[in-house]
Amino acid sequence: MARDRAKYFRWQRRRARRAERRATKLLRRKIARNRAHERALGIAPLQWSPSEASLAPTLECPERLNLSGDYESTILFLQKVRMVSSTFSGRFRVNLCPLKEITPAAALLMVAEFDRWNELLSPLKIRPIDIDDWNPAVRTKLNEMGFFELLSAKKDFEEVLTDEERFLPFLSGHRSEGDQAKRLRLAIEALGPKLKDRQALYDGLVEAMTNVSHHAYNQGWPVPRWWMSASVNAKSGRLTVMFLDHGMTIPKTLPLSDLWENVRGMLFQMGAALTGLALSDDAQLIQAAMLVERSRTEEEHRGNGLPRDILGYVKTHSSSGRLRIFSRHGKYTFRKLADGSTTVETTTLPVPLKGTFIEWTIEDYAEGESDDPN
């Protein structure tokens, strides 16, 4: 009897060792795939420790997420989120404790990246850790944007609200949906005064949605969606409205559109030689697209195009403002100054944005009292 019991325990130990070896082999394969993705993207490797080898990988967030001074580290972090969610079919964790500062633009990009993961593998969730140790202001902003609902995470913490910038819950969709643009406008006005040029904002958002539904995604694209949100500083009067898609980007889709010949002509007018280098300059391509009117306006639910609807909200507004477009390796910035003068700046980005991000900023958005009930 004792001999049989000893034999049974030896068999159990051998079985446990085989299971451990299989798990270790599987983990090493996952890590190898992860390393291959890292090399392909040119990003820093994910750190692993022996004590956590059997756990889900943990992503460490940078201290600052924004699209200005910390653009490269921000985009690389978001690329790592996408890479790990694609490589590891199970859960993984995100450590946002180091995060001390996040802008509205970076917040929308991060929320959209996690929302994309949820749609691809809806039963599984990205797991934030040590929420109580997060920066209170960052935690409040992400909560306002709908981050905790997105992750189905508990919100047993006290919000730190200020009289300054407030974030709005993100909205998402697949098609051109005018009611969503109106819903965002109503949410903006719920936090402060009514909007000037509300129709221009509506037209800009609908044009962005239309471009997504017509051009951004090929058939069979994993998550053919757009995301939008806004932030409001009612005290200073500043409004920031943001729109994002994960599609093929403006520079990539332009040669396939009916605008391409007009864009080529605009590049000549801008003084750009039609060489391979000029046509591969994403920022110049975005700038040319912003100057070309759509050649076909008879299509149902189509606006007037990028120059009138996207650029028009800042250009025709009575106060100063800014339009920024990030798409692939190109960044386009249009500024309207307080005296009415305008400037345009184009920049080549060190790390590509996989999609198109549009941001309108108005320095004095308030209309005051209005009798318009809508």
pLDDT digits (tens, 9 = 90+) for 84-95: 776 665 566 788
CB-based contact 57:93 (threshold 8 Å):
yes
* 280 and 346, same domain (yes or no): yes
Same domain, 138 and 281: no
Domain membership of residue 15 (yes or no) is: no
**CATH code for the domain of 236:** 3.30.565.10
Q: Write the pLDDT tens digit of every residue in 168-195.
A: 999 999 887 889 999 999 999 998 888 8
Give whole-number Cα distances, 56 to 9, 46, 126, in Å.
30, 12, 10
Handedness of CA 247, 250, 256, 257 (dihedral sign): positive
My answer on whether 130 and 189 are in the same domain is no
Q: What count of other Cβ atoms lies within 10 Å of the Cβ of residue 174?
A: 13
Range of the domain at 350: 162-367
pLDDT digit string, tens, across residues 248-258: 898 888 776 76
Together in a domain, 104 and 171: no
Same domain, yes or no, for 214 and 142? Answer: no
Q: How confident is the model at residue 49 (pLDDT cuts 50, 70, 90)?
A: very low
What is the C-alpha separation between 111 and 171, in angstroms, rounded? 10
Q: What is the pTM of this model?
A: 0.81
Answer yes or no: is 225 within a domain. yes
Last residue of a domain, one of 142, 161, 180: 161
83 and 172 fall within a common domain: no
Does residue 1 fall inside a structural domain?
Answer: no
Tell me: do 200 and 215 sit in the same domain. yes
Q: Say whether both 360 and 332 belong to one domain.
A: yes
